[in-house]
Amino acid sequence: MRFAIELKLPLTLEAVVTFITDHVEHLGPNGLRQGLPEQVDRELVKLGIKKRVGPLALSTVEHRVAVMSEAHLAQHMESPCRVPVVQRLLSRTRRAYVKRGVRPNKVDAITLQPLKQMLETCDDSLLGIRDRALLLFAWSSGGRRRSEVVAATVENTKRRGESYVFILDHSKTNQEGRVDGSSYKPIVGAAAEALTHWLHSAGITQGTLFRQVRRYGILGGPLSTEAVRRIVIERAKRAGLDGRFAAHSLRAGFVTEAGIQGIPMAEIMAMTGHSSVASVVGYHRAGSSLTSAAARLFDDAEMRNEPTS
């Protein structure tokens, strides 16, 4: 509608930039307004694509850009959403919102205990077996992104005794499909057991690991990235967890829990595949803050100064 043509993958850089500038708020001479023409905005609402006229929340815009990116990655296409121009645009938009007192709402991290509560909601049905395997696969192998979870196959997830090695040959930070030492992500222990149970129960011997489970336990096609998001949200809801959750909560939770357990940053990044320390350090610090020796300076000093009997 905006471009008068049907948009298909791969999207152009112009389409991504226009989507962002159309739907966020800009501060102009007449106050805040969006870039989307009013007539187009009203038509989108009329068609049910938008709930109401006006700009989208920044978190919604960022989420939709992330969905666009994952759609490209799932098709092994280079994502125009990850080029420096788009990342700078989003960064400057976030700063502009912060200056106006609008701060982004981050999803809550699913650390070890919340994860266990979610796993307890997974029964012995084929659906429960799948969800348990998916949650443990995504969390334990380094907090895999949705696009990486749906890209997992029997062929790129190699059995090694009772364990597996997931070969991550395509990701947000590896769009060229190269395989090196950092591409191998171990799946061991409970995660490996759950994956084996799922594969045997579903009779999967080739192709995509995680698939739809239809009525009466009939196996369907591959899961979409949106389906992974819904699974995380639904299991968190069933577990009675309070907070705002999404698929990224597994990735954030893995890093946060690693911080709690004192895992070195280099080991965490080797698992997650993060290329920037800045992306990891916030979650790591949040996790390690309560176990920090610096936080106990007063108590430790008091203990050292206590008189001995």
The label of the residue with tokens 């907090």 reads 143
What CA dihedral angle connects 271, 272, 276 and 282, to 10 degrees? -110
- At 67, the pLDDT band (50, 70, 90 cuts) reads confident
Maximum C-alpha span of the chain: 86
Residue pair 209/157 in contact (Cβ under 8 Å)? The answer is yes
Query: Residue ranges of the domains in the chain?
Result: 13-99, 112-290
Overall average pLDDT of the 11-30 stretch? 88
What's phi and psi for 113, nearest 5 deg? -65, -45
pLDDT value of position 20: 94
Residue 160 and residue 157: Cα distance in Å, rounded?
Answer: 10
> What is the mean pLDDT of the segment spanning 13-32?
87
In the predicted model, what is the mean pLDDT of the chain?
Answer: 86
Backbone angles phi, psi at 156, to 5 degrees: -105, 10
Give percent of the chain with pLDDT exceeding 70: 83
- Phi then psi for 205, rounded to 5 degrees? -120, -10
- CA 138 to chain CA centroid, Å, is 9
Give me 13's structure tokens: 């850089």
- Per the model's pLDDT, the better-predicted residue between 289 and 194 turns out to be 194
The pLDDT score that the predictor gives to residue 102 is 74
At 4 the pLDDT is 65
> Sorting pLDDT into bands at 50, 70 and 90, what band is 300?
low
Block residue for tokens 């759609």:
71
| Tokens representing residue 194 in the block | 């759950």
Mean pLDDT on 8-28: 90
> Are the C-beta atoms of 128 and 239 separated by less than 8 Å?
no
Give the per-residue pLDDT at 259. Answer: 85
The per-residue pLDDT for 297 is 65
pLDDT at residue 129, rounded to an integer: 98
Confidence of residue 153 (pLDDT cuts 50, 70, 90): very high
Calpha distance 245→236 (Å, rounded): 7
Give the range with max mean pLDDT: 11-20, 46-55, 258-267: 11-20
**Segment holding 28, helix H or strand E:** strand 25-28
pLDDT at 181 (0 to 100):
62
CATH pick for 112-290 out of 1.20.1740.10, 3.30.70.20, 1.10.3720.10, 1.10.443.10: 1.10.443.10
Q: pLDDT digits over 175-219, tens only?
A: 555 665 678 999 999 999 999 999 999 999 999 999 999 998 999
Query: What pLDDT score does 152 carry?
Result: 96
**Model confidence at 308: pLDDT above 70:** no
Q: How much is the pLDDT for 172?
A: 57
Residue 107 near residue 248 (C-beta atoms within 8 A): yes
Distance, in Å, from the CA atom of 68 to the CA atom of 86, rounded to the nearest integer, reads 12
Residue 75's pLDDT is what? Answer: 84
Cis, bond preceding 186 (omega within 30 deg of 0): no
Q: With beta carbons less than 8 A apart as the criterion, state whether 228 and 134 touch.
A: yes
Residue 98, pLDDT above cutoff 90: no
Instruction: With a cut of 70, say whether residue 287 has pLDDT above it.
Output: no
Residue 82 DSSP label: G
